Amino acid sequence: MATIQIAGVTKVYPNRTQAVSDLSLDVADGEFMVLVGPSGCGKTTALRMVAGLEEISAGTVRIGGRVVNDLSPKERDVAMVFQNYALYPHMTVAGNIGFSLKLRRVPRAEADRRVAEAAEILGLGDLLGVKPASLSGGQRQRVAMGRALVREPAAFLMDEPLSNLDAKLRVQMRAEVSRIQRRLGVATLYVTHDQTEAMTMGDRVAVLSKGLLQQCDAPQTLYDHPANLFVASFIGSPAMNLYEARIEARDGGLCAVIGDKPVPIPAEQLRQRPALARFRGRTLVVGVRPEHLTVARDGGDGAAALQAEIELLESLGAEVMAHFRVAAEPARTEAVAAGAGEAASPVPVAGGGTLRGRGVARISPRVPVRVGDTVSLTVDGDHLQFFDLETGGAVGGQ
């Protein structure tokens, strides 16, 4: 039972690549902290520095208040779960789970008791004598968990432990890993590239990009108030729609002009984001989540409605993802491209005329739209997000 304190930690490889820059994170006792980011963002390097598998170039790591920079992995009292589980094929399930106890010369009777206990928690009781080769993916994952928790370590470190499982099992194990972690109450640092995993499992989520911490907060806060364009485009599936917009004064208030449609900014928003006033006459990036768009068959040209053409409809049963082209300038900053991932980076719209932007709306299956329809999109002004075009930072209080 302990905390993990990462203070100003930096990793520079001999070839001068800077994998992690000045990372500071505190994981409270019993907290489940998720490190998330696209591949190559430095999250695994950060975890390995905590484990002692990678040298720390600068900064300090404390586990349970003790500086561990110069301690070997063995002396740090942490347990780690690897992406490929690293189960030893020459040992039985019991042998694998009890490996660390054997290394520490824990008396046989006590070791057996603790292995049995761990197996009980994980539902592996019947498989103790079996070799890993004959286990299913989910069972192997459990054995890897068992090997970590039998130690009763000060902290758990997990490196993408679910990414080798198929989709259905991953959802199951997500809940199970969370359940076990809460039951044991051990501080946990969990690395993943999957933002869904991060959102569903973490007490708090730290978003990393290019070795830099972007934001560290509770999942809902990340979703509702992303600190910058990277977090805005990385967290959420489907991703937030981001367009360039001009802030103009109209009718005694401010409007965000998207394409050529002015969307009034509610007074409450202006009160919460006084800095918006400084953007009058300037262009910034507005963000709107797919669930904050309403689609209507092209009826009257409402003031705040954007013209859009339905490109693709993905029905999920309870809801439909409506992909559209819209008369708006897409926000094409580097942070957006990085957050959205290369596969989703904006594809230039060919032959779209003024429909230069793309986006997704989360709509009810009862809305009668078809591919190719021209529709009007109504933006929920209360949930608009604003980002500085240059810095990428959210436009907020100051």
Partner 1 sequence: MPPGVPGGAASAAGLSRRWAVGFLTPAMLLIGVFLAFPAIWTIYLGLTDFRLLGPQALHTKFVGLGNYQQALTGGDFLHSLYITVVYVLLSAVIGQCVFGFTLAWVFRQWKGPLRRVMESLIIVAWIVPGSVVAFLWLAYLQGNIGPLTETGTLNTILGGIGLNWWLQLPMLSIVIFNIWRGTAFSMLLFGAAIQAIPPSYIETARVAGASGWQLIRDVVIPRSRGHILTNLLLISLWTFNDFTPFLLTGGGPGNQTQFLPVYVYQQAFQQGALGYGAALSTLVLLINLLIALAYMRILKERR
Contact 335, 233 (CB under 8 A): yes
Closest CA to 235 of 245, 221, 251: 221
52: contact with partner 1 by CB under 8 A: yes
Measured from the CB atom, the residue of 105 and 168 that comes closer to partner 1 is 105
Question: Which C-beta is closer to partner 1: that of 147 or that of 170?
Answer: 147
133 binds partner 1 (CB under 8 A): no
Can residue 282 be called a binding residue for partner 1 (CB under 8 A)? no
Please report whether residue 72 would count as binding partner 1 according to CB under 8 A. yes
Element (H, E) at 79: strand 78-81
Give the separation between CA 251 and CA 278, rounded to whole angstroms. 18
375, 310 contact by CB (below 8 A)? yes
Beta-strand relationship, 204-209 and 32-36 = parallel
Which residues have CB under 8 Å from 108's CB, separation 6+? none
- Check residue 103 for interaction with partner 1 (CB under 8 A): yes
- DSSP-assigned beta bridge partners for residue 231: none
Shortest Å, Cβ 150 to partner 1: 10
Of residues 72 and 398, the one with the C-beta less far from partner 1:
72
Examine residue 78 and tell whether it contacts partner 1 (CB under 8 A): yes
84 binds partner 1 (CB under 8 A): yes
Does the footprint of partner 1 cover residue 164 (CB under 8 A)? no
What are the residues whose beta carbons fall under 8 Å from the beta carbon of 217, sequence distance 6 or more? 204, 205, 225
Q: What is the spatial distance between Cα 205 and Cα 17, in angstroms, rounded to a whole number?
A: 25
| Residue 179 binds partner 1 (CB under 8 A) | no
Out of 24, 83, 283, 294, point to the residue binding partner 1 (CB under 8 A). 83
Q: Which H or E run includes 45?
A: helix 43-51
Question: Quick check: 114 binds partner 1 (CB under 8 A)?
Answer: no
Instruction: Return the number of the residue (101 or 276) whose C-beta is nearest partner 1.
Output: 101
Interface with partner 1, residue 196, by CB under 8 A: no
Stretch that binds partner 1, among 20-28, 59-67, 83-91, 281-289 (CB under 8 A): 83-91
Instruction: Work out the widest C-alpha separation in the chain, in whole angstroms.
Output: 80
How many Cβ atoms are within 10 Å of 274's Cβ, its own excluded?
Answer: 12
The CB-of-190 to partner 1 minimum distance in angstroms stands at: 15
Judged by the rule CB under 8 A, the positions of this chain that interact with partner 1 are 51-53, 72-74, 76, 78-80, 82-84, 86, 88-91, 99-100, 102-104, 147, 151, 157
